[in-house]
Structure 1
Amino acid sequence: MLVDHFPLLGLRLTTPRLELRLPSPEELAALADVAADGVHDPDTMPFAVPWTDRPPAEVARGVVQHHWMTRAQWTPDDWELDLTVLHGGEVVGQQTLRGRDFAVLRQVSSGSWLGRRHQGKGIGTEMRAAVLHLAFAGLNADEALSSAFTESRASQAVSRKLGYQPNGVYRHVARGAMTVEQAMRLTRTDWERQRTIPVAIEGLAPCLLMFGATE
């Protein structure tokens, strides 16, 4: 079976309301449709890489190609886990966890997006909590990083709720204008103090070497 050769296909995270996993081809198509329908106010740009500033068909195709690319380029020293988020069986968005030189640094970073009609329901907090549990409880990470433009108040609120602390500011150019990025950092101690959302992990053991982690 394919999962025997690429065990990440068997990795699943579940919370009280959500399931996170690599998508099937049909679920990847649904994820592309969600992205094409819009993930933010068109008057703003919350992403350092403006991947949504394209026609809907190109946005959808880009989501598919990005998933194929991250799977193909995966190594234990440089990986990106793009998990599709399902709420009540419906594809609603994506939660990413990244690691570079994880075996040495024990550090991860995250990113995410949700379809606009699924926002404002606490899903963003729950899906971030899921990958933080994977990082700290599953992979034995020491710290997790995140960042958001200062205009992205919802993302910053999720970080604060989960225990992240400010970790510097950086300037970027978005749509030809300056914008400020607020970096955030979550230590293992702060994660243990703040975690309240139960998370279950399935299928992790065969994946550990792919993450550069050990049991």
Structure 2
Amino acid sequence: MLADHFPVLGLRLRTSRLELRVPDHDDLSALIEVAFRGVHPPEVMPFRIPWTDREPAELARGLAQHHWRMWAQWSPDSWCLLLCVVHDGVVVGSQALQSRAFAVTREVSSASWLGQAHQGQGIGTEMRAAVLHLAFAGLGAREAVTAATEGNAASLAVSRKLGYAPDGKQRDVVRGEAVVEQRLRLTRADWERHRTVDVTIDGLAPSLPLFGL
């Protein structure tokens, strides 16, 4: 099996409601269909890179190529773990965890998106909690960072709930307009204080060298 040679492919994170796993071709196709059905209202853009503005054919191709590119470029010193999120057997979104020189910095960053039909149910918090458990409990991270535009209230609310603290602001251009992005940082101590989601990890031990550990 390919996972014998690239064991990250066998990694699984589970909460009481969700499974996060590396998407196979069927999962990736399902992710594309979720994106087609909508990730946010068309009049707003919660992402710094407006990938959801693409025409359907370009969006599908770009989403698949992004996943393949991240796997092709994986190294223990620079990795991006892209996981699909499954709720009640249905793919509902994507959760990423990434780092550079993790063995030295012990810092990770995260990003995610969730189909509009599945929002408002606490799934966004639970899927972020799952990768934070992987980072802190599984990989021994010291800190986790993330960022969201000030108009992305849902993402900022998830970060606050999980214990992140403000870590400065920066300006960017999205859809030709200036936006303010809020950076956030979560320490190991704050993660431990705000833990409410039980998470189990399968397949981590053989994957550790691929994370630089």
Q: TM-score by structure 1 length?
A: 0.98
Between the aligned partners of 1:147 and 1:55, the Cα distance in structure 2 is: 26
Partner of 1:151: 151
Q: Give the distance between the partners of 2:197 and 2:18, measured in 1 at CA.
A: 11
Task: State the distance in 1 between where 2:101 and 2:51 align.
Answer: 26
One-letter amino acid matched to 2:29: A
SS, match of residue 63 in structure 2: helix
Q: Which moved more, 1:199-208 or 1:61-70?
A: 61-70
SS at match of 2:45: coil
Write out aligned runs for 1:30-49 (5 A): 30-49=30-49
Matches within 5 A, 1:34-183: 34-183=34-183
In structure 2, stretches of 5+ residues that fail to align are none
Partner of 1:10 in structure 2? 10
Deviation at 1:57, TM superposition (A): 2.2
For residue 36 of structure 1, report the CA deviation from its aligned partner: 1.8
- How far apart are residue 134 of structure 1 and its match? 0.1
Q: Tell me how far apart the structure 2 counterparts of residues 92 and 150 of structure 1 sit (CA, whole Å).
A: 24
SS at match of 1:47: coil
Q: Distance in 1 between matches of 2:117 and 2:195?
A: 26
Give the superposition deviation at 1:38: 1.5
Aligned with 2:136: secondary structure? Answer: helix
Distance across 1 between alignment mates of 2:24 and 2:105: 31
Q: Return structure 1 stretches of 4+ with deviation > 6 angstroms.
A: none
Q: Could you tell me whether the CA contact under 8 Å between 1:37 and 1:56 is conserved in 2?
A: no
Counterparts of 1:190 and 1:49, CA distance in 2: 29
**Contact 1:36-1:57 within 8 A present in 2 as well:** no
For residues 49 and 128 of structure 1, the distance between their equivalents in structure 2, rounded to whole angstroms, comes to 20
Question: What does the per-residue CA deviation read over 1:146-179, in whole Å, with 9 as the maximum and x for residues that have no partner?
Answer: 1100000000000000000000000011111110
Deviations 1:82-122 (A, max 9, x none): 10000001000000001111010000000000011011110
For the pair 1:192 / 2:192, whether they are aligned, the reply is yes
Deviation at 1:21, TM superposition (A): 0.5
The answer to whether the 8 Å contact 1:97/1:131 transfers is yes
In structure 2, what residue type is equivalent to 1:89?
G
Gaps of 5+ in 1: none
Does the 8 Å contact 1:77/1:101 carry over to 2?
A: yes
Determine the C-alpha separation between the residues in 2 that align with 1:11 and 1:34: 22
Write the distance in 1 (CA, Å) between the matches of 2:8 and 2:194.
28
Q: Is the 8 A contact 1:82 1:95 kept in 2?
A: yes
User: Aligned partners of 1:180, 1:66: CA distance in 2, in Å?
Assistant: 25
Conserved? CA contact 1:14–1:199, under 8 Å:
yes
